[in-house]
Amino acid sequence: MAAPRPLLRRKRWIAALVLGLGLAGAGLAAGWLGRGGQAWETAPLARADIDATVTAVGTLQPLRYVDVGAQVSGQVLRLHVQPGDRVDKGQLLVEIDPSVQRATVDAGRASLAGLRAQLAEQRAQHRLARQQLARQRQMAREQATRDEDVQTAEAAEAASAARIEHLQAQIAQTQATLKADEARLGYTRIDAPMAGTVVSLQAREGQTLNATYQTPDILRIADLSTMTVWTEVSEADVRRVRTGMPAHFQTLGGDARRWQGTVRQVLPAPPPPVGKSGDGAATQAAAATKVVMYTVLFDVANADGELMPQMTAQVSFVVASARNVPSAPLTALTPVPGQRDRYTARVLNADGQPETRELRLGVRNRHQGEVLEGLAEGEALITGARGADTGPRRFQW
């Protein structure tokens, strides 16, 4: 037999009331338990490798390179290399039109031949003058000639000898000039001064080079087996960088490969500012608003050829390092004012309660530091809090 409708509605109302009171009680209990409760985020003191570094940006350049230029003017007849070619020392690189230089050499050789002919003629005249002088002296001993004739013969012999010396000097001068002309003729064929790779080419076949006032560059040869990182370090960090300090870098290629090196040189002055001549005051005013950068050099082997000139390097100079030492995250530490190596930290003690400790740190980087005193390995360092309540919770019914 079905229950009356009013009785059914009454049972449903009582069930809803009981369920609501249950939920409210559960919420009240949760609020009461969470009112004074606290959960801590901790990290155990673990061992790690720590490197204190100075970071900077650098550019890769070959350690050894040479700019090959033209020492004579003329038209480029032939280029025997292209960028990227490997060349050996002494290999022919460029041929310049030798017409003018060859004509100058031919003229010098002809002039030299003429002087040598004059010298031969003058030597014959000198022999004749000596013979005449000998006859005059013989006749003078026999008193068969005048003193004036003897003196004339002596002067003629001396003048002939002087003309020989003059011609010899002219020949020496012409030979030196000819040697220079022959050298300039040789400069029309440009050979590689070193073994390496052609990294750039500024001239083209048919181009006319003018070497009158300056040496025009034709190409650059570089030895890419060893690269130099030209690093710009700010004035705030350059005092921490020393010769012999380890350094490493990565390129912008996206891989995780790291190249190692050692600081070779810290240049004592920054590069000169780029500016027009005569605007020194403006240049100084502009430089005063910028960070002064100093150049630090270190070399790295490039046997596999992965590094190329002008690549950008993200450099780190290792100022200090510690291996397998207890380390703590710096985000959980508070510096002690006036003490560089002192920090305070909150640690969970054996009873699970937080307490404040003073730590002494050694080597530090941007994220963690070496713990020397104040915290033992394995202790729980408080790094944050979760579930903390600052007052009673309000519930909505």
CA dist., res. 163 & res. 169, Å (int):
10
- Mean pLDDT, rounded, for 143-163: 93
Q: Which of 175-179, 292-296, 361-365, 388-392 has the lowest mean pLDDT?
A: 388-392
- Would residue 16 count as lying in a domain? no
Closest CA to 259 of 343, 316, 339: 316
Q: pLDDT tens across 76-94, in order?
A: 999 999 999 999 999 999 9
Q: Which of 293-297, 357-361, 386-390 has the lowest mean pLDDT?
A: 386-390
> Does 128 share its domain with 141?
yes
Q: Give φ, ψ of 256 to 5 degrees.
A: -100, 15
Domain with 246, as residue range(s), is: 56-62+223-273+283-319
Closest CA to 382 of 313, 319, 310, 333: 333
- Would residue 174 count as lying in a domain? yes
Q: Residue 344 belongs to a domain with what CATH number?
A: 2.40.420.20
**The pLDDT of residue 40 is above 90:** no
CA dist., res. 66 & res. 63, Å (int):
10
> Does 309 share its domain with 345?
no
Pairing of strands 368-373, 334-335: unpaired
> Does 162 share its domain with 139?
yes
- Would residue 394 count as lying in a domain? no
Q: How many domains, the chain?
A: 3
pTM: 0.69
**The pLDDT of residue 284 is above 80:** no
> Does 315 share its domain with 325?
no
- Would residue 3 count as lying in a domain? no
Query: pLDDT band at 281, cuts 50/70/90?
Result: low
> Does 115 share its domain with 168?
yes
CA dist., res. 227 & res. 249, Å (int):
12
**The pLDDT of residue 29 is above 50:** no
